[in-house]
A and B are shown apart, each in its own frame.
Chain A
Amino acid sequence: TQLLEQSPQFLSIQEGENLTVYCNSSSVFSSLQWYRQEPGEGPVLLVTVVTGGEVKKLKRLTFQFGDARKDSSLHITAAQPGDTGLYLCAGAIGGTSYGKLTFGQGTILTVHP
């Protein structure tokens, strides 16, 4: 059972376009993380969101945590080829004591010059 549904699974866009990746669940998360992974490397943390309705910005990336803490989105403005990679969302189910995370299946983003 996939507790975290991430969409779309694949995105292929041109440089300069905007895009949004979604992460949805029927479970409430105490926090949610977004990671970016490049081939042959481990996932690298982009952001952690904790409060329902929270919005965080990282340069051209905007992250939002849903009011009910069941969903999140990642929006990239004016995508660049350097944004290419696998984007993963991961959530901690409420009450988790040891920081255990559930991961979405990931979104493979390709930005063409």
Chain B
Amino acid sequence: DAGITQSPRHKVTETGTPVTLRCHQTENHRYMYWYRQDPGHGLRLIHYSYGVKDTDKGEVSDGYSVSRSKTEDFLLTLESATSSQTSVYFCAISESTQDRGRRETQYFGPGTRLLVL
């Protein structure tokens, strides 16, 4: 199993409060991703990182920010949580390699279940 952990695993918060989710990897992979998973929508990319301090937006980035100060850690922040951000959040990693198949294969963490009341 890929060495990916997410914390916290479960969180309940109130609308308007800031929330930070952490993804930690021990694989030294260059690329890291944050997704949210909702019924009927599958997995949707929020933000991704292609190196330390190098990040970019995914398809559902509004209301989210990220930071990556170390290779092993990728943080997702909800600046002011809303009920629409209730979801299950997954972190994923992939290698930086010329091998297309390996570069495009992602390994996922166990997820964080977030409830915004």
Residues of A within 8 A of B (CB): 30-31, 33, 35, 40-45, 48-50, 88, 90, 92, 96-101, 103-106
Complex interface: stretch among B13-21, B66-74, B77-85, B106-114: B106-114
Kindly list 8 other residue pairs between chains A and B, CB separation below 8 angstroms, not including A33-B104, A100-B33: A30-B104, A45-B106, A50-B101, A92-B104, A98-B50, A99-B94, A103-B42, A103-B44
Distance from A90 Cβ to chain B, minimum over Cβ atoms (Å): 8
Provide the B28-47 mask, 1 if CB < 8 A to any CB of A, else 0. 00010100000011111100
Most interface-central of A45, A88, A98, A106 (chain B CB within 10 A): A98
Give chain A residues whose Cβ lies under 8 Å from the Cβ of B111: 40-42
Give chain A residues whose Cβ lies under 8 Å from the Cβ of B103: 99
Across the interface, A33 reaches (CB within 8 A) one of B48, B58, B90, B106, namely: B106
Residues of B within 8 A of A (CB): 4, 31, 33, 40-45, 48, 50, 56, 58, 90, 92, 94, 100-111
Distance from B63 Cβ to chain A, minimum over Cβ atoms (Å): 20
Across the interface, B106 reaches (CB within 8 A) one of A30, A101, A104, namely: A101
Within the assembled complex, what's the spacing in Å between the Cα atoms of A42 and B88?
10
Q: Are A106 and B42 in contact (CB under 8 A)?
A: yes
Q: Are B48 and A100 in contact (CB under 8 A)?
A: yes
Q: Are B104 and A43 in contact (CB under 8 A)?
A: no
